[in-house]
Amino acid sequence: MDLKIIPLTISVFILHACVQHQSPLESNQVHEISDTIKVEYAEGFEVNYTGNFIQIISHSIANNSAFADTLEFPTAKVVPDLVGENVLAGQIENIACQSSTHVAFLSTLKSIDLVAGLCGMEYVQNSEINTTLAENNVAEICAAEQVDMEVLQKINTDLFLIYPFETEGKAKYDAAGIRTFFIAEYLEQTALARLEWIKLFGLITGKSKEANVYFEKAESEYLSLIRATKQVDSKFILNLPYKESWFMPSANSMIVNLIEDAGLTYYYPSSGITENETRSTEAVWNDAMYADYWIIMASRPVDFSLADLLTEEPVYKEFLSVKKNQVIFCNTATSDYFVQGVVEPQIILKDILLATGQVSNHQPKYFSLLK
């Protein structure tokens, strides 16, 4: 045998191995488009359609720490220009969520059965969702607020939806072969922008049409409520202190914008940032003498009353809002404000409008006047 054929064979083998093969995808790996997504309010994500794939990009807003993440779904069998690591071929069958708010979006789209792992299961107050999570044996993937990698790997998730708190965290998951995607809906500055993330969840779950229908209905209700709102010329402050610090939401935050949509004016002008601003309790005590409304979201016992609030700090009885009986309260221990509330901004708005006497015939779900 001619020995010259050996190096030739090896060279051919190496060359063959180096060529990038583009085998066509199987039918079940191609993403089905039920409806086209158009982003109108949200600033934290965008959707691009090409002939061959859908590209979703989530990114930072304004001056928040910069981050960006991309997810691509093939919509044709041959996709030559896809970037490998961002591609998710076929329908997702198994999702893990780092936030319970993700569950609210998935539940609204009737895709809760996709959830295989969740971080912070105890924060879900909705009994229906809790029952489903229990029935599906959904794994608690966090211990003491930290993701348990072993549990996460055990559930073998198709996609882990994560906070963009630390970009090195993503690298850790990549190294473990876990596909992740940044979800930062909490950075949105308006309620409709935050709700619009349901469209992104619709894309991920193949339920774009349902997402569009839900969003348009909620949007329409929300906008019609705004149109009916009167400018009531009243100022409001928010929440309660922790010891000497009062963490007041930024004037650019979603909750402040939502309450301002009800015709009230925030006591604190915008300082340009979106994070909570820390104020001393004595500064807020002073300001509260001039704020007509005091809107509180806090975890308290079921039958928490205005009298109970006043026992927490004697100065509260001097607040203008207390004197006017205009303390609006959302008990986060008994209502699902932090989860279900994300997908029901129109109900929150209506609650505020009812509490400020601008609408009637409404059963409050999250916020009501504290009596």
Partner 1 sequence: MLALGLSAIALLFALNLLLGDVSIPVSDIFTLLSGGEVENNSWSYIIESRLNRSIVAIFSGAALALSGIILQVYFRNPLAGPGVLGITSGASLGVAFIMLGGVGVVSFFGQIGVIVAGILGAVSVLFLLLLVSKFIHNAVTLLVIGLMFGYFTSAVIDVLFLWADLDETRAFVIWGMGSFEGLQTADLLLMCGIILLAIVSSAFLIKPMNALVLGSEYASSLGINLKVTKYLVILHTGVMAAIVTVYCGPISFIGVAVPQLVRLIWSSKNHFIQIPATLILGAALALLADLIVRVSGNTLPLNTVTALIGAPIIIYTIIKLNKKIA
Kindly tell me which of 177 and 314 has the beta carbon lying closer to partner 1. 314
Q: With binding defined as CB under 8 A, does residue 123 bind partner 1?
A: yes
> Which residues neighbour 188 within 8 Å (Cβ) at sequence distance 6 or greater?
41, 42, 43, 44, 61, 194, 196, 197, 254
Output the smallest distance, CB 342 to partner 1, in A: 17
Residue from 240, 315, 359, 369 binding partner 1 (CB under 8 A): 315
Output the smallest distance, CB 292 to partner 1, in A: 16
- The CA R_g of the chain, rounded to the nearest whole Å, is 25
Residues constituting the chain: 371
Residue from 150, 314, 360, 361 binding partner 1 (CB under 8 A): 314
Q: With binding defined as CB under 8 A, does residue 245 bind partner 1?
A: yes
Q: How is 46-108 classified by DSSP, letter by letter?
A: EEEE-SSEEEEEEE--TTSPP-EEEEEEE-SS--TT--GGGB--S----EEESSHHHHHHHHH
CA distance 124 to 289: 36
Q: With binding defined as CB under 8 A, does residue 144 bind partner 1?
A: yes
Contact window for partner 1 (CB under 8 A) among 46-54, 143-151, 171-179, 347-355: 143-151
CA distance 258 to 347: 11
Output the smallest distance, CB 144 to partner 1, in A: 5
Output the smallest distance, CB 132 to partner 1, in A: 22
Output the smallest distance, CB 141 to partner 1, in A: 15
Kindly tell me which of 156 and 325 has the beta carbon lying closer to partner 1. 325
Q: With binding defined as CB under 8 A, does residue 303 bind partner 1?
A: no
Kindly tell me which of 259 and 297 has the beta carbon lying closer to partner 1. 297
| Cα dihedral 72/177/112/41 (nearest 10) | -40
CA distance 340 to 30: 31
Residue from 85, 122, 168, 303 binding partner 1 (CB under 8 A): 122
Kindly tell me which of 257 and 332 has the beta carbon lying closer to partner 1. 332
Q: With binding defined as CB under 8 A, does residue 299 bind partner 1?
A: yes
Kindly tell me which of 215 and 329 has the beta carbon lying closer to partner 1. 329
Task: Report the relative pairing of strands 95-97 and 159-162 from DSSP bridges.
Answer: parallel
Residue from 32, 244, 275, 308 binding partner 1 (CB under 8 A): 244
Kindly tell me which of 291 and 370 has the beta carbon lying closer to partner 1. 291
Strand partners, 47: 56
Output the smallest distance, CB 269 to partner 1, in A: 17
Nearest CA to 343 out of 38, 100, 56, 59 is that of 100
Output the smallest distance, CB 221 to partner 1, in A: 31
Chain centroid, CA 199 distance in Å: 12
Using CA of residue 57, residue 198, residue 173, residue 338, what is the dihedral sign? positive
Kindly tell me which of 22 and 325 has the beta carbon lying closer to partner 1. 325
Contact window for partner 1 (CB under 8 A) among 94-102, 140-148, 199-207, 219-227: 140-148
Q: With binding defined as CB under 8 A, does residue 318 bind partner 1?
A: yes
Contact window for partner 1 (CB under 8 A) among 11-19, 141-149, 156-164, 258-266: 141-149
Among residue numbers 263 through 292, which ones bind partner 1 (CB under 8 A)?
A: 278-283, 285-286, 288-289
Q: With binding defined as CB under 8 A, does residue 325 bind partner 1?
A: no
CA distance 97 to 180: 10
Strand positions, DSSP E, 172-331: 180-182, 235-238, 245-248, 265-266, 277-280, 293-298, 327-331
For residue 129, the one-letter residue type is I
User: Which token pair is 52?
Assistant: 């061959």
Output the smallest distance, CB 238 to partner 1, in A: 17
Residues that bind partner 1 (CB under 8 A): 122-123, 143-145, 242-245, 278-283, 285-286, 288-289, 299, 301, 314-315, 318
